[in-house]
Amino acid sequence: MDDLRQKYLDAIANAGDETALEDLRVQAIGKKGEISLKMRELGKMSPEERKAAGPALNALKDEITSALAAKKEALADAALDQRLRAEWLDVTLPGRPRRAGTIHPVSQVTEEVTAIFADMGFAVAEGPQIESDWYNFDALNIPPEHPARQEHDTFFMSRAAGDDRPPHVLRTHTSPVQIRAMQAQGAPIRVIAPGRVYRCDYDQTHTPMFHQVEGLAIGEDISMANLKWVLEEFCRAFFEVDEVELRFRASHFPFTEPSAEVDLRCSWEGGQLKVGEGDDWMEILGSGMVHPKVLQAGGIDPEKFQGFAFGLGIDRLAMLKYGIPDLRAFFDSDLRWLRHYGFAALDVPTLHGGLSR
């Protein structure tokens, strides 16, 4: 019995893997195993012999069983250790930068503009790109025969034959969102509305689809002075300069009274734009005090409330800030252009973190 014991304990200790271990288990304590057969022989023994051999065989079987279990666990641990060693990696190595995709300048500038106005308390409002002519024109004090309708190079949706209602349009500006926001929220209100707009026009600085941001602030005592401050503050933050100078030029929009186009002092020395210095002026937006009829269309009492609105071109801002010469390339989806002018996805623009590092 001692020989048997030693034989199997040694063999178990030397087993190299689980298969060898399983073979040993079958050999020793399987149905026809050496120890099992010995146990079967107990029946042929005399009672005295059986008394001595029985417990000894049982003890041997238990010992082998636990030796097998212990070895099995040791083998599993060793396998895990080996795997951990083989799969070791140095997590302190620097990552390999892989810029598979980039943020489009239009998205980047939209985020920048939104961050700046959010800081001044403007929420973001949205409206549909397919708009009724009422929202796009009438509600903005542009009645059917108004010349401004022609100036907008409008894309009209078609109506079914026999349907005489005025056609919907692809919105020609973000101003209809003024009406929708006033109807939805009432006054006081402070929103910007970035989004796509459409006009039938195509050259180096015009594409049939482009982007605007509308601004709207209505309250009981909002004046042109507030408009001027907000726009100056915006330009300082957006162009990342300490001083800007704006020039308000009298203009005309049907939905504002008075109206002003706003120019920004700049220089173009060596083809490089510098904001806040030089002798050039660059038109950047249209603005004015919201016309009483527009307030009315939005469901707001013009006797009690007044405010300002402005509209600026996002694509144009992107071209100016990032020195992009041709607007049409914005929408060509040329990967080389996107890699060159795109922004890293994780550089979310914030006022405190920097808008465009």
Positions touching ligand PHE (CB under 6 A) are 173, 175, 214, 253, 256, 286-288, 309-311
DSSP H stretches of helix in the chain: 2-14, 18-29, 34-41, 47-86, 105-119, 133-136, 148-151, 176-185, 224-239, 292-297, 314-322, 335-341
E strands of 182-229, at which residues? Answer: 189-198, 209-219
Q: Which is nearer to ligand PHE, 108 or 256 (CB)?
A: 256
Which amino acid would we find at residue 272? Answer: Q
Q: Which is nearer to ligand PHE, 33 or 311 (CB)?
A: 311
> Shortest distance, CB of residue 103 to ligand PHE, whole angstroms?
25
Q: Which is nearer to ligand PHE, 308 or 343 (CB)?
A: 308
The neighbouring-strand residues paired with 191 are 123, 216
> Shortest distance, CB of residue 116 to ligand PHE, whole angstroms?
17
Q: Which is nearer to ligand PHE, 185 or 251 (CB)?
A: 251
3-state secondary structure of 323: coil
**What's the rounded Cα separation, in Å, for the pair 114 and 236?**
14
- The pair of three-digit structure tokens given for residue 288, joined into one six-digit string: 């004015």
- The pair of three-digit structure tokens given for residue 149, joined into one six-digit string: 């309708």
> Shortest distance, CB of residue 119 to ligand PHE, whole angstroms?
21
Closest residue by Cα to residue 286 from 208, 215, 182, 207: 215
**What's the rounded Cα separation, in Å, for the pair 6 and 198?**
91
> Shortest distance, CB of residue 193 to ligand PHE, whole angstroms?
10
3-state secondary structure of 166: coil
Q: Which is nearer to ligand PHE, 131 or 214 (CB)?
A: 214
> Shortest distance, CB of residue 256 to ligand PHE, whole angstroms?
5
> Shortest distance, CB of residue 174 to ligand PHE, whole angstroms?
7
Torsion from C-alpha of 119, 194, 259, 172, nearest 10 degrees = 180
Q: Which is nearer to ligand PHE, 252 or 328 (CB)?
A: 252
> Shortest distance, CB of residue 106 to ligand PHE, whole angstroms?
17
DSSP string covering 259-286: EEEEEEEEE-GGG--EET-SSEEEEEEE
In terms of phi and psi (left: phi > 0; alpha: psi -120 to 50; beta: otherwise), the region of 240 is: left
Q: Which is nearer to ligand PHE, 35 or 131 (CB)?
A: 131
Q: Which is nearer to ligand PHE, 57 or 264 (CB)?
A: 264
Q: How far is CA 274 from CA 193, 240, 282, in A?
A: 27, 11, 11
Q: β-strand 256-267 against 169-170: which pairing, if any?
A: unpaired
Q: Which is nearer to ligand PHE, 314 or 355 (CB)?
A: 314
> Shortest distance, CB of residue 334 to ligand PHE, whole angstroms?
28
Closest residue by Cα to residue 137 from 126, 128, 148, 127: 148
**Residue at shortest CB range from ligand PHE:** 311
> Shortest distance, CB of residue 253 to ligand PHE, whole angstroms?
4
Sole residue written with tokens 């073979």: 23
